Amino acid sequence: MNEELGTVQAALGARARLLQWADGGLVVDLLRAASGAGWLDLLTTPTTVEALAEAGGVSAERARRVVEVFVAAGVVRDGEGPAYVLTEEFAALNGAPAGVRLDDAIDMVTAARDRVRSALSPDVRRTWEQDALVVARNWGMLPAAATRAIFSMAYDAVPAYRDRLAAGGPLLDIGSGIGGALLTTLTMFPELRAVGVERAEDVVKELRERAEAAGVTSRLEIRCADAQEIDDEAAYEVAYWAQAFFPDDARAVTLEAARRALVPGGLLLVQELTPPAQDAPEARLHSALDALVADSRGVPPVRTAEELAAELRDGGFEDVEVTTTPIGRLVLGRRALD
């Protein structure tokens, strides 16, 4: 009897944990619904439950329940009187500063869920490109003042690279995404000319639109191509490789193409994606899920700066150095002087 009681208690504990995991996902679903109903814009200023109910076409009772969830989740707080308002963080995210958008984050969650659902279904064929735009949007920021400030911190830590950007490059940007790095850098250095290489067609389309909006098209060539096929020779002073998004089987060929494309003495820059902290159990869970989703996209787990440095050396780069910057670690390598 005691043994059975123990088993039932263990099962109840596991069930409670399972329901607890689900809570975060439910809040994300509710946020999506609230965004669609126009609630988030309303909640940028103090708004009553009645006004929210009217906007959502639901009863005041239902609106109150939803608001209670958001208050508990830290999305919304009590405003003055009987009104509610977005917390500072969510007000910021709702304003999409420098292109950091709530909808993109929610799309990222949805794409990750789809990957996880089919993780044990070998027959489900999912291509990398399926998530390319979602990932690129979530990763790349708009070329705004805040983004330029962030990139300045990085470039100031690699002055030899920065000075060549300032002198006009040219820059080869490998795996451009929607142009977070590429367009920001072009708007920082008015003399700079660049070529961006991106494989996914829908991402390229959006990159072209964003380049137009940033006013840099006269200094930028965008190629829709696999980076492994770059056949320029000794054409660029500097290159940036978005290595974290390149699968194992494409890395050596891409690196070789980048080396050939640089002028002798030209510089290649890559960035280490900071591995998530592992100490807290939630961080371990997050990190393991991240690695699973990345694996299902064919992308390798996070490589440390030291591993990247070794990869660059193996690829024939010289004077490879790891530099710590306020935005993480960068690895810089040089094509040998012939």
Ligand X SMILES: C[S@@+](CC[C@H](N)C(=O)[O-])C[C@H]1O[C@@H](n2cnc3c(N)ncnc32)[C@H](O)[C@@H]1O
Exactly one of 99, 143, 170, 177 binds ligand X (CB under 6 A); that residue is 177
Are 178 and 154 spatial neighbours (Cβ–Cβ below 8 Å)? no
Instruction: Please choose, out of 64-72, 151-159, 224-232, 261-269, the segment that lies near ligand X by the rule CB under 6 A.
Output: 224-232
Cβ count near 21 (within 10 Å): 9
Instruction: Please state, in angstroms and rounded to a whole number, the distance separating the CA atoms of residues 332 and 308.
Output: 10
Separation of alpha carbons 238 and 206, rounded Å: 24
Separation CA 41–CA 43 (nearest Å): 5
Q: Shortest CA distance to 216 belongs to which of 325, 127, 318, 143?
A: 143
> Is 144 an interacting residue with respect to ligand X (CB under 6 A)?
no
Is position 181 an interface residue for ligand X (rule: CB under 6 A)? yes
Q: For ligand X, which stretch binds (CB under 6 A), given 43-51, 101-109, 198-206, 302-310?
A: 198-206
In angstroms, give the least distance from the CB of 25 to ligand X.
24
Q: Which of 103, 114, 226, 295 binds ligand X (CB under 6 A)?
A: 226
Count of positions on this chain that bind ligand X (CB under 6 A): 24
Of the listed pieces 76-84, 91-99, 149-157, 195-203, which binds ligand X according to CB under 6 A?
195-203
31 binds ligand X (CB under 6 A): no
In whole angstroms, give the CA distance from residue 255 to residue 242.
11
Find the binding residues for ligand X in span 243-282 (CB under 6 A).
245-246, 250
- Tell me phi and psi for residue 222, to 5 degrees: -110, 125
Q: How far is the CB of 310 from ligand X (least distance, A)?
A: 21
Using the minimum distance from each CB to ligand X, give the nearer residue, 179 or 333. 179
The crossing angle, in degrees rounded to 10, of helices 201-214 and 180-188 is: 20
Name the 3-class secondary structure at 125: coil
Chain positions contacting ligand X, by CB under 6 A: 132, 135-136, 139-140, 175-181, 197-200, 203, 226-228, 242, 245-246, 250
